Amino acid sequence: MVSTTLLTLFMGFYMIYNTSKKVLLKTHFGFENWVNKHPIKGTSVGLMTLLLSFTLNCFLFGMGSGIIYSFIALMTFGSLIVLLNPINFLTPKPIMVLYTLSLYLECFILNS
């Protein structure tokens, strides 16, 4: 569940990041063109996914810990997106590999 909340947090910030006019548009995931053409809708969808992630983290860890964890993860992912997107490292393949590995570790190794 933590892996999924981190993925939704990443996708929410990535959507909001792509609504900026200063960003060079790179279409790796397929929704970047839509988000760039509809910035108000893209920002609202990004904010809703961030809110969903914050809410799930608050349910998982409690109110205080969930908010702190969400802000730390948001700062980390925000920095990674701003640094790694211009050099074309944020493609679906490494994101899905990391998500699958994280989900595997969470489900099978850490819960046993």
9-30 pLDDT, tens digit per residue, is 999 998 898 888 777 777 777 7
pLDDT tens digit sequence for 56-84: 999 999 999 999 999 999 999 999 988 98
Quick one: pLDDT at residue 90?
A: 80
- What type of residue is 17? Y
Kindly state the percentage of the chain with pLDDT values over 90: 48
pTM for the predicted model, two decimal places:
0.86
Provide the number of structural domains found in the chain: 1
Question: In this structure, what token pair is assigned to residue 38?
Answer: 């509809």
Say if CB 95 and CB 10 are below 8 A apart. yes
Structural domain boundaries, residue 17? 2-109
Task: Give residue 71's identity as a one-letter amino acid code.
Answer: F
| pLDDT above 70 for 5 | yes
